[in-house]
Amino acid sequence: MKIGVFDSGIGGKAIAERLERDYPSDEVLYVNDSKHVPYGSRSSEEIISLTDAAIQPLLDAQCDVVVLARNTATAAAIEFLREKYPTTPFVGLEPMVKPAAQQTKTGVIAICATPATLNSSRYRGLKDTYANDVKVVEPDCSRWASMIEHNQVQHGHIARTIEGVLKQGADVIVLACTHYHWIKEEITGLVAGRAIILDPSEAISRRVGVIIGS
């Protein structure tokens, strides 16, 4: 089996590495579109066009499943791609609003995401469906993906952001962008047990396993 993984930048590498560990007998192909990072500040039309162009090597390789390892690309483009390429299963990333709402004890969750994800109808639908009874904090993470992509992480900015959501009572923090995997350890240290941190790697791997029959 061939598993294709796409991300706009380096974030999807974490997903690809997880899939390689979980499915060692399958081939994992990874492509990115780093020359157009960040996607999070682009229009939906731009994101659809860029994503469609970037995944062509995975389609040409006849991947059995293609993972959009990017919340921004999933929110804007996955329905378009499913309609355009109906024989290719697409797995997307979505902010883990449902599990966050289920796990919170304080009734406050934080969603760390790009502006494009937060503004998407897909995300709003998740909030309307699963987060009516909880407070959703949406900190400004608009610079995070670019900082991580260019190895220019501003640790003070991240610390202030995380402390801000903790002060608002958040006890579940969702990392709703694959780039943020690379600072998960730092965020875990900042949280120091005061909140649960959710990222999508495990859920994506399970979904891929269902599709490829592993």
User: Residue 79 belongs to a domain with what CATH number?
Assistant: 3.40.50.1860
Q: What is the pLDDT of residue 191?
A: 96
Over range 40-44, report the average pLDDT. Answer: 83
Q: What is the pLDDT of residue 133?
A: 95
pTM of the model: 0.78
Cα–Cα dist 46/66, whole Å: 20
Residues 66 and 126 in one domain: no
What would the pLDDT profile of 172-212 be if each residue is shown by its tens digit?
999 988 788 889 999 999 999 999 999 888 889 999 999 99
Maximum separation of any 2 CA atoms in the chain, in Å: 49
Residues 156 and 193 in one domain: yes
Over range 36-54, report the average pLDDT. Answer: 88
What would the pLDDT profile of 110-131 be if each residue is shown by its tens digit?
999 988 889 888 899 999 999 9
Residues 101 and 194 in one domain: yes
Answer whether the bond into residue 115 is a cis peptide, omega within 30°.
Answer: no
Residue 214: pLDDT over 70: no
How many domains are contained in the chain? 2
Rounded to the nearest 10 degrees, how much is the dihedral formed by the CA atoms of 9, 109, 22, 193? 110
**In which region does residue 27 sit, left (phi positive, over 0), alpha (psi from -120 to 50) or beta (all else)?**
beta
Residues 125 and 165 in one domain: yes
Helix residue spans in 7-120 (DSSP H): 12-22, 44-54, 56-60, 71-84, 97-103, 115-118
Residues 73 and 106 in one domain: no
Asked if 53 contacts 77 with a C-beta cutoff of 8 angstroms, the reply is no
Cα–Cα dist 10/58, whole Å: 17
Residue 79: pLDDT over 80: yes
Residues 149 and 102 in one domain: yes
User: Which position has the token pair 């502006």?
Assistant: 115
pLDDT band at 98 (very low <50, low <70, confident <90, very high): very high
Residues 78 and 145 in one domain: no
Residues 185 and 136 in one domain: yes
User: Which position has the token pair 């990017």?
Assistant: 70
What are the residues whose beta carbons fall under 8 Å from the beta carbon of 74, sequence distance 6 or more?
Answer: 68, 92, 93, 94, 122
Domain that holds residue 184: 97-198
Residues 187 and 149 in one domain: yes
Give helix 184-191 / helix 155-167 axis angle, nearest 10°. Answer: 50
Residues 120 and 65 in one domain: no
Residue at 132: amino acid letter: N
Residues 142 and 192 in one domain: yes
Residue 37: name the closest of 63, 12, 65 by CA: 12
User: Which position has the token pair 């599709």?
Assistant: 211
Residues 68 and 104 in one domain: no
